[in-house]
Amino acid sequence: MWLKPEEILLKNAFKLWVTEKDNEYFVLQRRRGYGEGGGGLTGLLVGTLDTVLDSTSKVAPFRILHHTPDSQVYWSIACGVTKDEIFQHWDWLQQNIMKTLSVFDSSEDITSFVQGKIRGLIAEEGKTSHVLEDDPEKFREAYLRFENWFALPQEEKLVTYYACSYWKGKVPCQGWLYLSTNFLCFYSYLLGAEVKLVISWDEIWRLEKTSNVLLTESIHVVAHGEDHYFSMLLRLNETFVIMEQLADYSIKRLFDKDAFERERALSDPLQITKRGLEAHAKSEQFRTFFRLPKEENLLEVHESFLWVPFSHFNTLGKICLSENYLCFASQDGSQCHIIIPMREVVNVEKPDSSSRALTVYVRGKRALRFTEVRDYQRLATTIRSRCGISPSPQHSASAEVIRGECQSLINHFEDNPEDVTMMVGQKDSSKAVSTEALMTVFHPQDVENLDPKMLKEKMKEQSWNIHFSEYGRGTSMFFTRKTRDLIVRGVPEALRGELWMLFSGAVNDMATHPGYYTELVEQSLGTSTLATDEIERDLHRSLPEHPAFQSDTGISALRRVLTAYAYRNPKIGYCQAMNILTSVLLLYAKEEEAFWLLVAVCERMLPDYFNRRIIGALVDQAVFEDLIRENLPQLVENMMDLSFFSSVSLSWFLTLFISVLPIESAVNVVDCFFYDGIKAILQLGLAVLDYNMEALISCHDDAEAVTILNKFFDSVTNKDSPLPPTVQQAPVANNDKSKHLNVDISELIRDAYEKYGSIRAEEVESSRKRNKLFVIQTLEDTTKQNVIRVVSQEVKFTPAQLDDLYNLFKRQHFLSCYWTMKSPALLHHDPSLAYLEQYQLGFQQFSVLFSLLEPWAFCTNKSTLSLWVFRLIDENQDGLVNFKEFCCALDNLYCGSFTNKLKFLFKLHLPPAFTGSPLHVQEQRLPKFFATTEGSPHLSRLPDFDLPEDGVIKKSPERGRGKVDLQAYLKQWQNEILRKEETIKDLPRINQAQFIQFSKTLYNIFHGDPEEESLYRAVAHVTSLLLRMEEVGRRLQEPSSPPASLKPNPADGEDEAPLTPKNSDTPSPQEAGPDLSGADWSFSFEQVLASLLNEPEIVSFFDRHVDIQSRVKLAQVAQLKLTGNSK
């Protein structure tokens, strides 16, 4: 590797370098302790220094220096890991530089020329290099060490590295931690003791910061059931965040494909950088805090003061700018924040430069003044360009005129709201779509009613109106502590839909997608899918006691919203609990608004909740358990098993307490959820357990605890609810409330905020990331156990052996996904499929793994054999092999009887495994097979594999929006049940071309065996015997035929083949000739079996026990390296 020329001290006290070659201008040196002899004690010391210290001198064991005869100054210009690499650089210098240097007159010119040439080479390399970090030289050195020490494939991208200590037992090892796209690596070399650690991110169960008596602060990693601790990091927090981001990236990419497809910024694993990860994390935090669409990215951040009119002072905070939004949050984030969509900005005024301020005018007679903005001019220009506002030379002078024109437009739109729809280009809503909230239709407010509840409702509305007058209303409203206080006290019925839209960010989605919902409704009308069938089944189970859902109006609106969402997002489609949530949304929001609220909940606020594995809900259950341990220690001391709370709280998270609380109380919880997110649900869950602490501690079993909680939820009321009894929901559970006093929902929520309001949203997100690793790995472990249980009934391998094989199989699946954006294995990975179908291998991955595990260690021509095995065991011919098919093949080869092994080999030479073509033709087809199965998102097949009409193998029960063919599944299962065991008489006869290849396969299998010669002779004897038997049989059948015509020509060639085993890999001209295909003689399996049974050497070879455990251990070591070499 060429290095940026740097002056060094050659004569050092330790004499760490030995000169290997030199000439007038260059010196090639070897690091003492490397190469021949090792260097003794000096070599050990040098190796230790190279690991611990981060200096240029220890980059690599070889280097090249430049010098001139009349100068004592030396310049390092190249380094290398191996002799071959450094000699290539040396030869290049000899051929391209030495002759040129003779034309220069002075040493300064020579040195200047060499330095310029080397810098040019480095710049040329940089065009294709993976090195993209701030300090390219230092990072190049680290990247070189990373490649040298861990021998990972060249495609593996190093993200960053840190010096740290790794605790192996009770002894710390000082070394280097390398974080790459797919692996966590550590290397240490101390006084001859080398420590090397490689852990893939997808194998990590736990990743957390810890501290104890011995380690003040460290990073704890759990993988493969082992604990790993990394400490003494100068930037521990930064290191942990990067590790967390890489682990989360790997989990999304490999286990959660749907979520990863939404992360376009990190789609290419070869382009992941530390800077990119940090930018992505900041954008994600920005979107979460301000509830913005997934498409928004944080572009600029400016510190500034914002004039807050309701407080009459400037508050310090940060301006955050994205593609379509201008946001501001005060220093602590809680005092106030505001979201300004660019579409709402009507003008940007720039006052005099002395105040470094700019004023942003928005619709609704609002002006926001930002001061002390360091780069205020550029910010003003950026906002104007994004809003489409053209700057004018007389901009400041005409500000009043512009404001007057804007105000007249605003007044016009307020008087004529229908023009706003025309202005944004929204299509006319379909007459089928409801334009009113169901609560407005089924329970209109009576203005004349002056009962206490209605009076209190009016007071709430008045409080909110005062808030709107002070803090603004709509998308550019200030969010403050007072806003949260009003939320906790309860939102008025008339304002609930509007505020839900605002707090969730759904108002922005709806404004930027005019007419989208109407189009979805029209497109999804009449579609029939598994989702629509489930929706129809659950329609009448959604708040069945509410009048709105006892009529066609409510049911039809619910059907349209759920069907439209299933059409929009078929990967989620429809899941139970969505109907209950959508029903409540329809009560208080218009139909289109309810749709966008559902989008906000499913895709932003509760990610991964509504899918088949409900990963998001399981993660939040784990977060809830952590909060219980932290905030309710008394409950933890008396109830050791907290998994009970996870199971009982699942419905709390999935339905936001709607399924357990009366509807008039549950809507108050939904108010808090839309403002504070999942934090509000966690707080309320803690408050519920705290309220029932004594009763839960004294209960004897889980059933009694469930009864206690159900009775508590029945006793929760909303004393301020203006809804009549006909609208209020009756308790779902036991109606016996004698043991429980009524609890007001407002008091319960207030208690939750007072006791647990200190829980920060950032802590919840961090806990989510930490627990997601454990939840995903637990689900994966459950999948593994289920697969092993099924497969163990079909094979003779022990559960421990199956466990090892499954880990190898799954790892091979992931290795095909590490360094490519669209691996077929990754594209076909679907967690919603049956356990056996979740992980499958294409041919290239199968070939690598099969070559590591096949029992014939010296078998030649492995790729062709792997192809035939792959074709044979791929029963459904979809180009993918699952774990059961893979294990059944290995079971035949390792644990089968002589007859079964021979039958397996015999079938390898029959269609569909063997197509009958000569071997060299098959080898020509292999690259085509690789390309079509590995590189194409739509899996193509070889001619002997059948494709559906659209060319796509359909593995999932439902692809796209077509209806599931359940009859086909039932028929398939019936055929599997009725399938009888194959006997040797069911096998077809093997023809001439197939038999020739069968013989060659036996030669290839026996190659390298200690009894190779005797095995070759045995095969020759069997082939000769079979051919003579065939000749005799044909003479008996056709006595009048000439004898010469009866003897097949290839027989003589086969008799000679054993004498020249080296020719067994390539067919003879006779074998490849066209006349072979016309031969009509053949053998049955019984004939082949009987002949081979007469050869003790062959029987002994196949009956010989082969230890699969030793092969598995070798495969575990070689799998990664072999996969990298095959790429």
CA distances from 1005 to 289, 547, 865, 1040, 1109 (A): 63, 76, 10, 41, 20
Q: What is the structure's pLDDT at 1125?
A: 57
Q: Is pLDDT at 271 greater than 90 in this prediction?
A: no
Q: What pLDDT sits at residue 401?
A: 44
Q: Answer with the residue of higher pLDDT: 186 or 266.
A: 186
pLDDT at residue number 927: 37
| Residue 1048 banded pLDDT, cuts 50, 70, 90 | very low
Q: Higher pLDDT residue, 968 or 95?
A: 95
SS3 515: coil
pLDDT band at residue 374, thresholds of 50, 70 and 90? confident
d(C-alpha 546, C-alpha 542), whole Å: 9
Is residue 1073 classed as helix, strand or coil in its secondary structure?
coil
Of 141-145, 562-566, 671-675, 759-763, give the lowest mean pLDDT range. 141-145
β-bridge mates for residue 17, sequence order: 31
213-229 per-position pLDDT tens digit = 566 688 999 998 899 99
User: Per the confidence metrics, is the pTM higher than 0.85?
Assistant: no
Looking at 380-389, 426-435, 891-900, which range is the least confident one? 426-435
Residue-wise pLDDT for 61-75, tens only, equals 788 999 888 777 888
In sequence order, the 6+-apart residues with CB closer than 8 A to the CB of 27 are 19, 21, 64, 65, 67, 74
Q: How confident is the model at residue 408 (pLDDT cuts 50, 70, 90)?
A: low
The per-residue pLDDT for range 639-650, each reduced to its tens digit, is 767 778 888 888
**Better pLDDT: 715 or 81:** 715
Q: Which residue has the higher pLDDT, 833 or 744?
A: 744
Q: In sequence order, what DSSP letters do the residues of 315-369 get, joined into one string?
A: EEEEEEE-SSEEEEEETTSSSEEEEEEGGGEEEEE---GGGT-EEEEETTTEEEE
Transcribe 938-975 into DSSP letters: S----TTS---TTS----SS--TTPPP-HHHHHHHHHH
Asked whether the predicted pLDDT for residue 1060 surpasses 70, the reply is no
Q: Which of 254-263, 364-373, 408-417, 829-838 shows the lowest mean pLDDT across its residues?
A: 408-417
| Mean pLDDT in residue range 1074-1102 | 79
Higher pLDDT, 894 or 60: 894
| High-pLDDT (> 90) share of the chain, % | 31
Q: What is the pLDDT of residue 624?
A: 93
pLDDT of residue 411: 54
Give the span between the Cα atoms of 496 and 656, in whole angstroms. Answer: 16
Report whether 1091 contacts 1025 (CB < 8 A). yes
| pLDDT of residue 526 exceeding 90 | no
pLDDT exceeds 50 at position 430: no
Percent above pLDDT 70 for the chain: 75
Instruction: For the chain, give the number of residues.
Output: 1127
Pick 389 or 313 by higher pLDDT.
313
Backbone angles phi, psi at 937, to 5 degrees: -65, -30
Segment among 331-335, 778-782, 1037-1041 with least mean pLDDT? 1037-1041
56: confidence class by pLDDT, cuts 50, 70, 90: very low
Helical pair 643-655 and 678-691, crossing angle rounded to 10 deg:
130
Q: Phi, psi at residue 63, to the nearest 5°?
A: -150, 160
Secondary element (H or E) of residue 1024: helix 1012-1037
pLDDT band of residue 410 (cuts 50, 70, 90) is: very low
Determine the pLDDT at residue 18. 83
Residue-level pLDDT at 120: 77
Cα 1008 from chain centroid (whole Å): 44
In the predicted model, what is the mean pLDDT of residues 1001-1016? 89
- In angstroms, rounded to a whole number, what is the distance separating the alpha carbons of residues 78 and 673? 60
Q: How far apart are CA 367 and CA 205, in angstroms?
A: 50
pLDDT at 892: 93
Answer yes or no: is pLDDT of 1019 > 70: yes
What pLDDT sits at residue 688?
Answer: 95
* C-alpha–C-alpha distance, residues 297 and 295, integer Å: 7
Average pLDDT over residues 607-632: 89
Residue 80 — very low, low, confident or very high, per pLDDT cuts 50/70/90? confident
Contact 967, 961 (CB under 8 A): no
Question: Residue 921 pLDDT > 90, yes or no?
Answer: no
pLDDT for position 963: 45
Q: What is the pLDDT of residue 219?
A: 92
Q: Residue 720: how many CB atoms within 10 A of its CB?
A: 19
**The tokens of 841 are what?**
């291998």
Segment 879-888 mean pLDDT = 91
Q: Which is higher by pLDDT, 726 or 216?
A: 216
How far apart CA 18 and CA 1 sit, in angstroms, is: 19
pLDDT at 199: 93
Computed over every residue of the chain, the mean pLDDT equals 79
Chain-centroid distance of CA 683 in Å reads 30
**pLDDT average, residue stretch 1003-1031:** 88
pLDDT for the residue 555: 92
Alpha-carbon distance values, 407 to 218, 536, 671 (Å): 59, 49, 33
Q: How confident is the model at residue 465 (pLDDT cuts 50, 70, 90)?
A: very high
d(CA 873, CA 1006): 23
User: What's the DSSP call for residue 24?
Assistant: S
What pLDDT score does 31 carry? 79
Q: Is the C-alpha dihedral spanning 212, 216, 219, 225 positive or negative?
A: negative
Band of pLDDT at residue 579, cut at 50, 70 and 90: very high
Q: What is the pLDDT of residues 861-876, one digit of tens each?
A: 667 889 999 999 998 8
pLDDT in tens, 90-124: 988 888 888 778 778 788 888 888 888 887 777 76
* Whether residue 1126 has pLDDT greater than 60: no
- pLDDT for residue 395 is more than 50: no
The pLDDT of residue 257: 61
- 49 backbone dihedrals φ, ψ, rounded to 5°: -60, -40
Q: Is the pLDDT of residue 960 over 60?
A: no
Separation between Cα atoms, residue 837 and residue 828, nearest integer Å: 9
Least confident of 167-176, 269-278, 916-925, 934-943: 934-943
With both helix axes pointing from N to C terminus, report the angle between 898-907 and 883-895 in degrees, rounded to the nearest 10: 130
**CA–CA distance, 766 with 996 (Å, rounded to integer):** 64
d(Cα 236, Cα 231) in Å, to the nearest integer? 8
SS3 content of the chain, % helix, strand, coil (to 5): 55, 15, 30
pLDDT at 496: 93
pLDDT band at 949 (very low <50, low <70, confident <90, very high): very low
Cβ atoms within 10 Å of 484's Cβ, excluding its own: 17
Cα separation, 754 vs 748, whole angstroms? 10
